Chains A and B, each alone.
Chain A
Amino acid sequence: MAAAESRRRAPWACACLGALCAVPAVAAAGRLEVQVLDRDGTGVPEVAVYAVPVGASADVAEPTARADAGPAVRKATMNQIGLAFDPHLLVVETGTEIEFPNGDDVRHHVYSFSRARRFDLTIDSGSIHSELLSFDVPGLVTLGCNIHDNMLAYVLVVDTPLFAKTGGDGSVALPVSDGHYEVHVWTPRLPDKALPEPVTVELEHGDARELAFRFDQKLYPPHEHSETSLHWPHY
């Protein structure tokens, strides 16, 4: 199984300030610094990292959520550009409405057969505003285009506002309040059974906490490929 390690960093907030964290409006702002590594120890970009508040601490996380998400109805965008979805992986909080603008000169027919959200949507070319679809059930939604076989994307719907994707170096920081969290990582480049188990952490006094996840299994090649010498049949 994948290993996850957690170690406490020197707290930068004093204990007395930490005590105030129970009051949401002035919750101490802590940080979860997550590093995702492949089995060779190289950082893996574009990995979803999300922290689900556990137990009573859910209340604590709520203000951060609203502050991050802006308006009451959260919105996100899944573009179609150059016969590809952009981004390849979109992480959203439950209840988010997603728009599917089509920047191509051809029509797309986006569909999902995933249990978390089944739909199909025909999107005319150049449609800056498509129909908004609400993603209300947590889980993975796999997107395809029924006209263009190579188009593939994932929407990961999570029951928390605390999420982000790793950057080029495989690391990301989540601003979190004090409390208990279950920290998950997810990438489409591994089967579910090879993904690391979530790690439970407790943050106090506005601590910064570092977490590292390491994938044991070799990653699938990225969907976007850089090789150009070979063409692939589309029968």
Chain B
Amino acid sequence: MAALLTGSAWLGALALLSAQAGAADLSDRHELAIELDWNLFDARSSLSAWTEGGAGKLRFDAGSSDNTFARVAIEYRGQITPTLFGRVVADAIENAPSSAGLTEAYLEWRPLPSGVARNRLRFGAFYPPFSLENTGFAWESPYSRSFSAINAWLGEEIRPIGLDWRLSRPVGGERSPRQIDVFAGVFYGNDPAGTLLFWRGWSVHDRQTRLNERLPLAPLVLPGPSGGSPIVIERRLDPIAEIDDRPGIYLGGDLSFARRARVSLAFYDNRADPYSFRDGQWSWGTRMKHFAAQVALPGDIGLIVQHMRGDTEWLVPPTRDGSILPTTEHVTDEFDASFMLLSKSVGERHRVSLRFDVFDFRRPGEFEIDRGDAATLAYSYSLKPRLTMQLEWMQIESSRDVWPMLLGHASTRETESMLQLGFRLSVFDSKG
């Protein structure tokens, strides 16, 4: 009943908002879209959700009395001059400490091409152009509610704030369907990136960190002095913080063939100094190589794969005041993750998607920090042109050698799953 009431309240609020937005008579220089998302979930895990400060991988808490969730997302794109655009993406979720905020905000300069090559320059806070899964409204996935482990992590900890340049041009003649893109970014922020991968491990969800948002981290449980009661250290993570004032970089390129196939390679390095500390946050020097490909298979079946491999340097133990102890160790942990997604649209209304993720985070030669896999089966149905129903089942299996040691958790192996029934309503879209 509570769920129904919450849902109705959100629907009402959004109907009002959409009416106002419609009445505002947006000029054609502005594109605005608003989406209401409401869902019902059944989460199964012996751990509380990481979003609640738990050690679990699920977004929603299994022990929650309210098993519903609501979110509003807004995407705006405006034309400032004929070649300069502004884009802002924001969302708000109910019952969260920092419930609303921007996920992306940037200026984009698209100079008029003087030949077959097109240049694009972005300035602000944005996602690096790595994901082939998050192509929808507000960086959502058109295939499933949850994102793959790789892209869920990009959504959590990777949000460059800086400059991004992209050059696209056809290869093999002006009209060739073959296109090459090269891109490069220089950015601030993202210095603590890697922290969540160590402390919580990989996850599969659709939560995107807002700029300046602080995420909960499971409390650190350290043995008490001389066998006394353990010391529990509460922590919060600011994944998008800049700590050492050293800009990070990424570089990459895509090759595509019409709307049939695309291959992408990228390298990312936040160039963070692991000895730097500011406002309670340590830097993690995180580098990764990323491969992505998508192809339209015969029978109009879409296939997407992404693979990421990298490492992160940090100091153990991370002190809360930035001090370096005699016992401080400089460690390098390695990680990798991959997924394969198959998706098929049936008619104009149905879509079925299947995704399989594998992931690993380890200290080479010492122990596994997080190793596991996830399976996701998603079905969506367009009830109306603007209303989509989504049904999704997802299960994550993982083992973490460090749990008993660091988080006081008894088990090293967990199976967590979630069934979701969601409704997404496009309450306003100036593009019609």
Interface residues of A (CB under 8 A from B): 104-107, 109, 111, 113, 120, 122, 124-126, 142, 144, 146-147, 149, 188-192, 220-221, 225-235
Q: CB < 8 Å: which of B28, B174, B181, B304 contacts A106?
A: B28
A65–chain B nearest beta-carbon distance, Å: 28
Residues of chain B with a CB closer than 8 A to A229's CB: 296, 300-302, 343-345, 351
Taking a contact as CB atoms under 8 Å apart, the answer to whether A220 and B175 are in contact is: yes
Bound Cα distance A55, B116 (Å): 36
Taking a contact as CB atoms under 8 Å apart, the answer to whether A234 and B135 are in contact is: yes
Bound Cα distance A190, B174 (Å): 10
- Across the A-B interface, how many residue pairs have beta carbons closer than 8 Å? 103
Q: CB < 8 Å: which of A188, A192, A233 contacts B131?
A: A233
Taking a contact as CB atoms under 8 Å apart, the answer to whether B175 and A191 are in contact is: yes
Residues of chain B with a CB closer than 8 A to A231's CB: 135-136, 142-143, 302
Q: Is the C-beta of B412 less than 8 angstroms from some C-beta in chain A?
A: no
Taking a contact as CB atoms under 8 Å apart, the answer to whether A230 and B302 are in contact is: yes
Which bucket holds chain B's interface residue count?
A: 35 or more
Q: Is the C-beta of B71 less than 8 angstroms from some C-beta in chain A?
A: no
Taking a contact as CB atoms under 8 Å apart, the answer to whether B258 and A225 are in contact is: yes
Q: Is the C-beta of B31 less than 8 angstroms from some C-beta in chain A?
A: yes
Bound Cα distance A228, B353 (Å): 13
Q: Is the C-beta of B262 less than 8 angstroms from some C-beta in chain A?
A: yes
Q: Is the C-beta of B51 less than 8 angstroms from some C-beta in chain A?
A: no
Q: CB < 8 Å: which of B79, B131, B176, B303 contacts A220?
A: B176
Residues of chain A with a CB closer than 8 A to B166's CB: 235
Bound Cα distance A208, B345 (Å): 48
**A142-B110 in contact given A228-B300, A232-B262, A235-B183 (Cβ < 8 Å):** no
Residues of chain A with a CB closer than 8 A to B345's CB: 228-229
B35–chain A nearest beta-carbon distance, Å: 16
* Chain A residue nearest in CB terms to B116: A113
Residues of chain B with a CB closer than 8 A to A149's CB: 118, 168
Residues of chain B with a CB closer than 8 A to A188's CB: 175
Taking a contact as CB atoms under 8 Å apart, the answer to whether B258 and A191 are in contact is: no
Bound Cα distance A228, B143 (Å): 12
With A120-B82, A146-B82, A229-B345 given, can you name 13 additional A-B contacts, CB distance below 8 Å? A105-B432, A113-B113, A120-B112, A142-B174, A146-B83, A146-B112, A221-B259, A225-B258, A226-B300, A227-B300, A228-B348, A229-B302, A232-B259
Taking a contact as CB atoms under 8 Å apart, the answer to whether A113 and B115 are in contact is: yes
Residues of chain A with a CB closer than 8 A to B259's CB: 221, 225, 227, 230, 232
Residues of chain A with a CB closer than 8 A to B302's CB: 227, 229-231
**A233-B129 in contact given A111-B112, A146-B82, A147-B110 (Cβ < 8 Å):** yes
Q: Is the C-beta of B430 less than 8 angstroms from some C-beta in chain A?
A: yes
Listed A/B pairs (18) with beta-carbon separation below 8 Å: A104-B431, A106-B431, A109-B112, A146-B83, A147-B110, A188-B175, A191-B176, A220-B176, A221-B177, A221-B258, A226-B300, A228-B345, A229-B296, A229-B301, A230-B259, A230-B294, A231-B135, A232-B262
Taking a contact as CB atoms under 8 Å apart, the answer to whether A144 and B430 are in contact is: no
Q: Across the A-B interface, give the 4 residue pairs with the lowest CB-CB distance, nearest first.
A: A230-B302, A125-B28, A235-B129, A229-B302
**A106-B142 in contact given A113-B115, A220-B177, A235-B129 (Cβ < 8 Å):** no
Interface residues of B (CB under 8 A from A): 28-29, 31, 79, 82-83, 85, 110, 112-116, 118, 129, 131-132, 135-136, 142-143, 166, 168, 172-177, 181, 183, 258-260, 262, 294-296, 300-304, 343-345, 348, 351, 430-432
Bound Cα distance A160, B113 (Å): 30
* Chain A residue nearest in CB terms to B347: A228
* Chain A residue nearest in CB terms to B30: A106
A139–chain B nearest beta-carbon distance, Å: 12
Bound Cα distance A228, B345 (Å): 6
B181–chain A nearest beta-carbon distance, Å: 8
Taking a contact as CB atoms under 8 Å apart, the answer to whether B430 and A105 are in contact is: yes
Residues of chain B with a CB closer than 8 A to A104's CB: 431
Residues of chain A with a CB closer than 8 A to B113's CB: 111, 113, 144, 146
B260–chain A nearest beta-carbon distance, Å: 6
Taking a contact as CB atoms under 8 Å apart, the answer to whether A230 and B118 are in contact is: no
* Chain B residue nearest in CB terms to A83: B431
A221–chain B nearest beta-carbon distance, Å: 5
Residues of chain A with a CB closer than 8 A to B181's CB: 235
Bound Cα distance A144, B117 (Å): 12
* Chain A residue nearest in CB terms to B83: A146
Residues of chain A with a CB closer than 8 A to B431's CB: 104-106
Residues of chain B with a CB closer than 8 A to A189's CB: 175
Residues of chain A with a CB closer than 8 A to B79's CB: 107, 147
Bound Cα distance A65, B346 (Å): 48
Bound Cα distance A230, B304 (Å): 9
Taking a contact as CB atoms under 8 Å apart, the answer to whether B343 and A230 are in contact is: yes
Bound Cα distance A124, B173 (Å): 32
Bound Cα distance A231, B143 (Å): 9
B351–chain A nearest beta-carbon distance, Å: 8
Bound Cα distance A107, B77 (Å): 12
